[in-house]
Structure 1
């Protein structure tokens, strides 16, 4: 029997602290039903299995909770399945291949070290803007290679794309969809290709159009993959990491003493505070999910952030422990739809954290403000004082 839970996914209380509700969803069963007929899944093992089975839990009908956005997403990397997804991912992932990321490592490392030196010398700064936004808004947006007017809009477009995935009728989707429309119109402008920065990722995509490898429509859908997910997710992941380390000074000291734990610290922060709470899938046939029958055509919200705190998988799941092995967290998704830019995000976060451990003895939070967002979780402001 399916449990019905009367949950408002966009209430101020849930946006501020979703984890008690996520636990209620896990405890209700492998799948529960929310208002509006949407199903939700929050257990780690069930999520991992579902995300591995793209033929049953399909992305090609969109991953949002409203059909307007699902129609807009159609044919993108995020909203497609093999064989289309395989080809799209291969093209969009070229600049993110290991060899090309290795070539970026030194630039990212040097930029991170210079940034941390500057911020540390100030003593007080905003970790959500001055620190977390710097690499995405300088190096990454430069790599994408949009014209200046498009580059200036990337943060607004990214926030809107994720907010527009909220349920039909929500204020988040209603306010975000016109901004997404602006982005789509900008990308579709016939004059845009000639304005792209030569050698950038966007220009490289257009070269694939000229070579007959992809169509103009595919170029536009793939460009969205560079404009939306490449900024906010990494920015929020970094601010969440800083917040956790500041809240747990004993963990920060342990990390300074043992910098080899940096990869584990990053994964543990991603597990505990996932920057993306979840996306949906459409069930392509009747299914039995861990003993619960769900009919074909059901839309299921995959709550990555709930699975990341599943006590069935992680002992004492609400505890931040930088020695925990959290490599199987779901914050980047899983299987074929794992975030294309995950390795770039990890490279950026590693560079910043390495520089911080060398330069900063302690981190104190002076002021914090969580961002008001339907899908993403992070900070709009996180003012800190550091002791060097």
Structure 2
């Protein structure tokens, strides 16, 4: 249908790999920030509580605010940080797989998505931020409900659900920042407070920014990583012989992860707006027009990845699952570490792992969430 397909609600769907890459990396394209929202006729959608709250976080900021906050974080998960968290991730995976094995022994099957995939990211990020483990389930529930505000065309009921979760998240992370200010330590959040105290003129501004960063980093790292891991395992199990092939060739685990990101990305689309009148793939796009970058369609563009609907571990293909440009995913390295660690241990410990049925998914368009993947061994 072309690299740009008119959307029924206005704007365009961007499907071609090169066009998507151009939007994500080009300076002529912005995220739909407050300034853009204020110019829209659909005030109900953009003035919803959950939408307004997310518009204050890193993913909805343009320069110079985005540049300032991003630079303050530095390279969150550089090699040194990943090496430091790796032993704990290894231990977490071992414990979660013990639980998976126990469930399989007792019931004959288990849900990989809920027993393992959803637990590993919250354990990792929660420990990194020094969040109480007793709060993990509450954070997961709030996250699952909050993301409806980030859907392409959320319904009123979805926005209401998201609003309730957003209010809970705001209360939780505001309290967390307040507690760290009163009792500072060597944790990440306390470090962010010290960094922003040196940048801001008052503590209230610092606390607001640190709250937004902490909430965003937490919720952005949970569902996406969990779905990557479940989709990765499903892609390997759905084809006879693929699991055994990789078990015998563990040096290709990273290749399998990369192909899973290409074949079935956890985020299906992301939106940008034209900063000025421009031309994209030969189509004139007026200023303020919204376009939706289709991550999955781009990765299945046969001009970039031949035979795109084939899952090929040795493909060495291209994808944009982590975005691109200024908004490239901060947690890409951590997500890869978690997926690599989980898959390595799964292959060693469950040589006869098999899927009982295909995955079940949440009814969404943007955040592609695997809610269940039943397996046996």
The answer to whether residue 187 in structure 2 is matched with residue 200 in structure 1 is yes
1:95 deviation in Å? 4.1
1:237 deviation in Å? 0.8
The answer to whether residue 12 in structure 2 is matched with residue 31 in structure 1 is no
The answer to whether residue 24 in structure 2 is matched with residue 51 in structure 1 is yes
Alpha-carbon separation, structure 1, partners of 2:250 and 2:367:
29
- What residue in structure 1 maps to residue 89 of structure 2? 108
Indicate if the aligned counterparts of 2:117 and 2:229 stay in contact, CA closer than 8 A.
yes
Indicate if the aligned counterparts of 1:157 and 1:180 stay in contact, CA closer than 8 A.
yes
Q: Give TM-score scaled by structure 2 length.
A: 0.86
Once the two structures are superposed, residues 209-264 of structure 1 have per-residue CA deviations (whole angstroms, 9 ceiling, x without a partner) of 44446723321221222221111110111111111111023221211111111001
Indicate if the aligned counterparts of 1:163 and 1:374 stay in contact, CA closer than 8 A.
no
Say which is worse superposed, 193-202 or 351-360, in terms of deviation.
Answer: 193-202
Distance 1:289 1:210, change over 3 A: closer
Alpha-carbon separation, structure 1, partners of 2:139 and 2:240:
34
SS in structure 2 opposite 1:72? helix
- What residue in structure 2 maps to residue 125 of structure 1? 110
Alpha-carbon separation, structure 2, partners of 1:149 and 1:258:
39
Q: How does 1:1-388 map to 2 (within 5 A)?
A: 27=1, 29-53=2-26, 55-59=27-31, 61=33, 66-68=45-47, 69-120=50-101, 122-123=103-104, 124-147=109-132, 151-166=136-151, 167=153, 169=155, 171-189=157-175, 191-194=178-181, 198-212=185-199, 215-326=206-317, 328-367=318-357, 368-386=359-377
Alpha-carbon separation, structure 2, partners of 1:120 and 1:147:
26
Which ranges of structure 2 fall in alignment gaps of 5 or more residues?
A: none
Alpha-carbon separation, structure 2, partners of 1:153 and 1:202:
19
Indicate if the aligned counterparts of 1:33 and 1:39 stay in contact, CA closer than 8 A.
yes
Alpha-carbon separation, structure 2, partners of 1:168 and 1:257:
45
Alpha-carbon separation, structure 2, partners of 1:188 and 1:356:
38
Indicate if the aligned counterparts of 2:126 and 2:133 stay in contact, CA closer than 8 A.
no
Indicate if the aligned counterparts of 1:255 and 1:261 stay in contact, CA closer than 8 A.
yes
Indicate if the aligned counterparts of 1:117 and 1:359 stay in contact, CA closer than 8 A.
no
Q: Give TM-score scaled by structure 1 length.
A: 0.83
SS in structure 1 opposite 2:373? strand
SS in structure 2 opposite 1:48? helix
Which ranges of structure 1 fall in alignment gaps of 5 or more residues?
A: 1-26
Once the two structures are superposed, residues 341-388 of structure 1 have per-residue CA deviations (whole angstroms, 9 ceiling, x without a partner) of 0100100000011111222222222244222234211321111002xx
Indicate if the aligned counterparts of 2:263 and 2:300 stay in contact, CA closer than 8 A.
yes
1:118 deviation in Å? 4.8
SS in structure 1 opposite 2:300? coil
Alpha-carbon separation, structure 2, partners of 1:307 and 1:45:
8
Distance 1:93 1:174, change over 3 A: farther
1:56 deviation in Å? 1.1
Alpha-carbon separation, structure 2, partners of 1:212 and 1:48:
33
Alpha-carbon separation, structure 1, partners of 2:166 and 2:367:
16
Distance 1:196 1:282, change over 3 A: farther
Alpha-carbon separation, structure 1, partners of 2:257 and 2:237:
14
How many equivalent residue pairs? 357
- RMSD over aligned Cα, in angstroms? 2.6
